[in-house]
Structure 1
Amino acid sequence: MRRVAVVVCALLLVASCGRGGADGDSGRLPGAPTGLTAAAGSATSVHVMWNALPDSSGIRAYEVYRGTTKVDEVPGSEHMVDVTRLRPSTVYVFTVRARGGDGSLGPRSRAVRATTPAMVAADRSAPSRPTRPDGRAVGSRAVQLSWGASKDDRAVVSYDIWQGGAKIHSVGGNQTAAVVTGLRPGTRYVFSVRARDAADNLSPASAAVRLTTPGTGAGRDTAPTAFTARTHEKSGACYLDLAWDPPRVDGVVTEYQIRLDAGTTISLVWGGTPPKGHSASSFYVGRDRGVVHHVRLRARLPDGTWGGWSVERTVTTGT
């Protein structure tokens, strides 16, 4: 499954992820983005992704180039883009550059190539809904799911398995069963299945399958630990610098939800491989000094559920 980019559900202008601390070199250029990939999404589009830079001072934006031509610019909180209006059966070369909070432009990433496929007849017909979904627990950390095959005018290429609102697994189109692992003991889950065809058309979701894994300790040790929050200023702008240790769970945590003050929610998703240990994020919160902020965060666990909230920290800008 592809990683997703950072989605901002509130006012968030700059974010960066990785290992880091307070910014001690305000004049340093941002580094070159790493982990760049490019894959054709259709005959006229290419999906480009890269890793967030581990720069605690924040990144204002990323610029995406096709050859020497700048084709898009996204906020520093995002690490993916679909480049459209391309020609079928054509090779393209892409690079990405980061623009720092002070406007400085860093070096280019390594170049990657992608080839758009030939144009084919449009397919706008989604597969039918998977039928007769069923399941059972196979231990305290796994379930086995099954369903009836979907029908499509061409072919079903995969089935996506969802837990609540999160896609957590995918199997080939010739399979009508799957074992989902990495779950938590003593936890209620709601699963559904959707079929996907070669044109990326998705079927309606199957009926829900509700299962409870046996055992206890469902909510134990799911909150991030060693959570700290600090502030720093750069060029008259105020930033919040967060750092934490991920919860110890089966699988990799790629998404966090940050709760800032009363109801402001920021979703943070790594565009590449997340750090294995201590993690950090820095984002812009305004230009006023003396503003008090309350902040905490939680992780979306590999089983698709949200873990517990970290302790809440209180910080004041300009201190």
Structure 2
Amino acid sequence: MLPKLHALPTIVCSLIVLAATVIPSTSANASTLPAPTDFRVTQTGFDRLEVAWSRVSNAELYRVLVNGVQRGAAYDPESTLTVTQLRPGTTYEFEVQAGRSSGEFGPGARLSATTLADDEPPTAPTGLREHLDASGKSLGITWNASSDNWGVSSTYNIYADGRLITRGGAPAPWTRLTDPYVGGLSCGKTYTFTVQAFDLNNNLSPESDSLSAATAC
């Protein structure tokens, strides 16, 4: 009887180890969400693209990547996103992934999209004139704003005798020609001024008509 009693612990230990090896692992997010379908561009602009996709069952949110970098997210049931701050006439690689709030995302749907090109310059500034105080003393120059197919920058190039002296402010209220940021002008001297607009893609307009004016002292 003694040999059988000594063998019993070995059998029990073997059964315990065997039982431990067959316990399956479980995960609350074991299933992977599929890639969204019908991924498409719905609006195209100079500096933005809007994309849309079909909703994925059980998805809580979607993230959109541009050239591999996340640029935005939409929470279900939203299924569109507009990505801004893009460059005109540039092709980008878009990807959308369905995910859960836990941070788990499935595979992505991909597409290439190109923003509108902008090679059109603004119109030339018009109405270049002196800005006078109540006594008729010249305080600076002003002009009428240019127009553009996309958008004109808030600054203009100002030239004196053909030399670029500053990127001045918008045409309202006016540009003071004796401020320190206007370089190289002498007090009380007469110059021939022109102004040139540039748009958000740095396309330059033709120069305005010229104006002969003296700087204030």
TM-score (norm 2): 0.38
Which structure carries more helix by proportion? 2
Larger RCO (alpha carbons 8 Å, 6+ apart): 1
TM-score (norm 1): 0.29
Q: Which of 1 and 2 has greater Rg? A: 2
